[in-house]
Amino acid sequence: MENSTLAKPGTKVVRVGPDGSAWIEGYRCQACGAVVTVATMACRSCTSRTPPAAFRATDHGKLFSWAVVHRSYPGIAVPFVSAIVDLDDGLSLKGTLRNVEANALRSGMPVVVVLDDAGGTHDKHGASYVGFHFVPEGAHA
């Protein structure tokens, strides 16, 4: 019933397999190549009625733009870097970029997607969520 404690996707682009493995999923139009983060009924770029097809995204990308957030909603730890990252196979994501000094941020810097426990949150049945963040390439852990 509803008491599964298997991990769940913590945000729309995350997928969790039956074995607990997790990945980022995107959708690519077979007609024009446009890539989006959600399933749509037709291609929002070229209007092809063949729905863009799901693909498992790479975990390598480049930083496109960012904001260093110093004031957020009450209770949210600041500062943090809100980053727009272009993955190397076309999917663009917004996420938090960790393990980097603000003055080291550069457009085009290589970053890696790290799947994580979405802040350690759980649903009411105790299931954990799978989220993600970015780190600069070579700055793992």
Partner 1 sequence: MTDVFIVGAGMIKFGRYPDRTYFQLGAEAALMALDDAGLGIKDVGAVYASSTFNAASMLGQKILQQIGQTGVPCINVSNACASGASAVREAFTGIKSGLYDIVLVVGAEKNPSGMLGGSPVDGPPPEGLFGSVTMPALFAEAGMVHTNAYGTTLEQFAQVAVKNHHHATMNPKAAYQKETPLDMVLASEMIAYPLTKLMCSANVDGAAALVLVSEKRARELGMARAVRIRGSAMASDVFEPRSPEMLEPNSVTRLAAARAYEMAGVGPEDLDLVELHDCFATAEILHYENLGLCAAGEAGRMISSGETALGGRIPVNVSGGLLSKGHPIGATGVANMIEIVEQLRGEVGARQVSGARIGMTHVLGFGGSSAAGVHIFEKA
Residues lying near Zn ion in the complex (CB under 5 A): 29, 31-32, 34, 43, 45-46, 48
Rounded CA-CA distance 126/52 in Å is 34
Q: Give the shortest CB-90-to-partner 1 separation in angstroms.
A: 8
Pick the closer one to partner 1 by CB: 21 or 107.
Answer: 107
Whose tokens are 């957030």? That residue is 69
Pick the closer one to partner 1 by CB: 3 or 103.
Answer: 103
Return the one option of Zn ion, partner 1, none that residue 102 interacts with (CB less than 5 to 8 A, by type): partner 1
Return the one option of partner 1, Zn ion, none that residue 31 interacts with (CB less than 5 to 8 A, by type): Zn ion
